[in-house]
Structure 1
Amino acid sequence: MEWGPNQEFGSRGATVLISLTVREGREDDYQRWQQRVDQAASGFTGFEAAEQYPPTSGEQNAWSVVFRFSTIDQLRAWLNSTERQELLAEGEGLFEGPTTQEVLAGEPPTRDVVTAVVSHDVRPGREREFRHWQNKVRKVQEKSPGFMGLELFEPVPGVQEKWVAVFRYDSREHLEEWLDSEARAKLLEEGRDYFAAYDVRKIRSAFGSWFRFDGEGEEGIPPNWKQAMTVLLALYPTVMVLNLTVGHQLDAAGLPGYLSLFIGNMLSVSVLTWLLMPLVNRLFAFWLVPGPVRVVVTNLAGTAAIVACYLLFLVIFAWVTA
């Protein structure tokens, strides 16, 4: 197995995405090996983080690993290091088929529920046409359900020769709908004039933050007041329901107040992170990060909808606790 490097720009950070298929029955051995790789990488200058994404349904034993370094030169030093090459040689028997990787230079793209990474082998001399074609793809893709952003990364001389497009959707269903759409099929047929081959990899993060929307710089981040309103929308019913159910049980068990509060907070954070906030973000994505058209109307409509939800919850819990 050979993991050669692949992409960059400037010194604003660099991320490498490695995709691999673990041999059936060797998952535990791979996990132990990957821990050694992560530990070795953490000892290199510029190391910032390492993340591992296990297989999702329909992608048996297909793992993804992401390493983040402060600069492309520091990432290159890790990729070409003797320590890494020795570890790759040791782990060669753990994997099926070739392993691929893309290097994304500059600030990393934000991640939401599902991220697709598409690498393209652009035909020599057709780079300008390829970029125009990608802009056309973006305009069509923006109209697809659940789309949350796209970023295009150019090749990095000496590191990666491929162009990489990274785009996000609010659910796996919406991503698959786009990948299988007739509109995308037509665009791919048109793009054959500009690239010789392409490869698609999908990543799902189980530990994404509550707010991760793609955009150009800070424009893709919801303003604080919107984040506060949506958190309150999910937090209030969560706390009320837990107080009316688990809270009574904890009080009846005679647990001290500090312990009951800790358990309640733990349950609240878990419900928010893995259940309610992803749902609220999906329902109000049109309002959290509105498009360039009718922004005022969208903001007013979204704000009114959330206030209406507040009032509805107040009425419900006033009736329940009466």
Structure 2
Amino acid sequence: MSAAASRGEYSATVLLSQKVRKDRESDYRRWQDRLTELARGFDGFDGTEVYPPEDGADGEWVVIFRFDRADQLMAWLDSSERRQMLEEGRPLFEGLPVQDVLAGEPPLPEAVTAVISHHVLTSREPQFVRWHAKLQKVQEKAPGYMGHELFRPVPGVQENWVSIVRFDTHEHLENWLSSTARGKLLDDGRDTFASYDVRRIRSAFSGWFRFGRESGTTTVPPNWKQAMCVLLGLYPTVMVLNLTVGKALQAAKTPAYLALFISNVLSVSILTWAVMPLISRALEFWLAPGPTAPGRTHALGALAVVLGYAALLALFGPTVG
């Protein structure tokens, strides 16, 4: 939570979705770093998060800027320095970025987050609020639902109503977004809004992989890199537990369901507080390469992880052979 929020004041957040040209991603990363440095020089800057495209997202990056107060965010958004940076970066993008300004403390984009913008019809705001409350009651019952917040427009900056909803998995979120119940509710609310837009922010293991906190910028690696690292940490953790705690529980004739639960508690705890922090630090060069990192960094990091798999298989193979 930001300093302003801890004092009971409203904070302000802007979410930017921008489609980066495929051949300009390295240039974009450098440009984005410069934009973050620019924002850091403005009063109230609280942090930035950068989310690369998901698989199949066709180059759409999501960037989040946080400020302590809405007026401080607006000062940065309206600044001549930022306008100049946007003009410099225009050749990097296909089309204009989609921008949502949220006045308030938004939920952290852990797990899977959908950002939904509604262009509400003039004079239909009260009806929209009632419709959205009805939507929310149904949404809360959907499997995997974790939280939701609705943000009103910010006059002169953000004209749309923006809702943020979080689910525990991508599958649960997609099931809700494509559900018959939601489709019927959207049909019921058509007389309150002219259009809506849905964007997704996903990081399946984002609690384990966050880089750049010291500089105020958070970078979340692509999910395929995260999954490779989790496997690198999970396999030896489970093997060691099976060879030690597992054998002890078996000797004590512990019921299988209880033994599995104890092993899961231990493996998750060890991964979260011991193994994954070590792996993320060791592979930071690959998980969050800097803007000047050579292109071969991605291949070298993946090769290092694969060699790690091979070493672990060679190590544990004789113990269970």
Counterpart amino acid of 2:97?
A: T
Q: Shift of residue 11 of structure 1?
A: 4.4
Specify the code of the residue in structure 2 equivalent to 1:118.
Answer: I
Q: Which runs of 5+ in 1 are unaligned?
A: 1-9, 211-236, 246-263, 273-319
Helix, strand or coil for the counterpart of 2:32? helix
AA in 1 matched with 2:42: F
Provide the rounded CA distance (Å) in 1 between the counterparts of 2:241 and 2:190. Answer: 58
CA offset at residue 83 of structure 1?
0.9
What SS does the aligned partner of 1:168 have? strand
Q: Paired residue for 1:106, among 99, 104, 107?
A: 104
Q: After TM superposition, list the pairs within 5 Å mapping 1:242-321 onto structure 2.
A: 242=240, 266-267=274-275, 269=277
Give the structure-2-normalised TM-score: 0.64
What one-letter code is carried by the residue in structure 2 that aligns with 1:116? A
Distance 2:80 2:107 in 1: 29
Gaps of 5+ in 2: 1-7, 209-234, 244-271, 281-318
Q: Would you say the 8 A contact 1:19–1:101 is kept in 2?
A: yes
1:45-78 Cα distance to aligned partner (Å, 9 max, x none): 1001011001112212110000000000100011
Partner of 2:131: 133
Residue pair 1:239, 1:268 contacting (<8 A) in 2 also: no
- Are residues 240 and 97 of structure 1, via their aligned partners in 2, closer, same or farther at CA, if it must alter by over 3 Å? closer
How far apart, in 2, do the equivalents of 1:203 and 1:102 lie? Answer: 14
Task: Give the deviation of 1:168 after TM superposition.
Answer: 0.4
Q: After TM superposition, list the pairs within 5 Å mapping 1:97-246 onto structure 2.
A: 97-205=95-203, 208-209=206-207, 241-242=239-240
CA apart distance, 1:110: 2.9
Query: Alpha-carbon deviation of 1:270?
Result: 6.0
Aligned-residue identity in percent: 53
2:35 counterpart of 1:33? no
Once residues 177 and 27 of structure 2 are traced to their aligned partners in structure 1, the CA distance between those partners, rounded to angstroms, is 33
User: 2:111–2:205: 8 Å Cα contact kept in structure 1?
Assistant: no
Matched residue, 1:81: 79
Measured at CA, do residues 130 and 79 of structure 1 come closer, stay the same or move farther in structure 2, by a change above 3 Å?
same
Deviation per residue, 1:78-122 (Å, 9 max, x gap): 101111001000000100122111111111223321100000110
Question: Structure 1 CA distance, aligned partners of 2:131 and 2:17?
Answer: 26
C-alpha deviation, 1:133, in angstroms: 0.5
User: In 2, Cα distance between the equivalents of 1:204 and 1:242?
Assistant: 31
State whether residues 12 and 68 of structure 2, in contact with CA within 8 Å, keep that contact through their aligned partners in structure 1. yes
Equivalenced residue count is 223
Q: For the structure 1 residues 271 and 132, does the alpha-carbon distance in structure 2 shift closer, same or farther, using more than 3 Å as the test?
A: farther
> Out of 4, 9, 18, which is 1:20 matched to?
18
Deviation at 1:151, TM superposition (A): 0.7
2:52 matched residue in structure 1: 54
Letter in 2 for 1:100: V
What secondary structure sits across from 1:117 in the alignment? strand
Post-superposition shift, 1:25?
1.0
In structure 1, the partner of 2:308 is none
Q: How does the TM-score come out when normalised to structure 1?
A: 0.64
Whether the 8 Å CA contact 1:19–1:100 is kept in 2: the answer is yes
SS at match of 2:96: strand
* Cα offset, 1:268, TM superposition: 5.1
Check whether the contact 1:120–1:198 (CA below 8 A) recurs between aligned residues.
Answer: yes
The superposition leaves residues 133-183 of structure 1 with CA deviations (integer Å, 9 ceiling, x where unpaired) of: 101111111111111111111111122111011100101111111111111
CA distance in 1, matches of 2:180, 2:241: 49
8 Å CA contact retained: 1:114, 1:169: yes
- Rounded to whole Å, the distance in 2 between the matches of 1:271 and 1:170 is 24
Q: Provide closer, same or farther for how the CA distance between residues 243 and 146 of structure 1 changes in structure 2, counting only shifts above 3 A.
A: closer
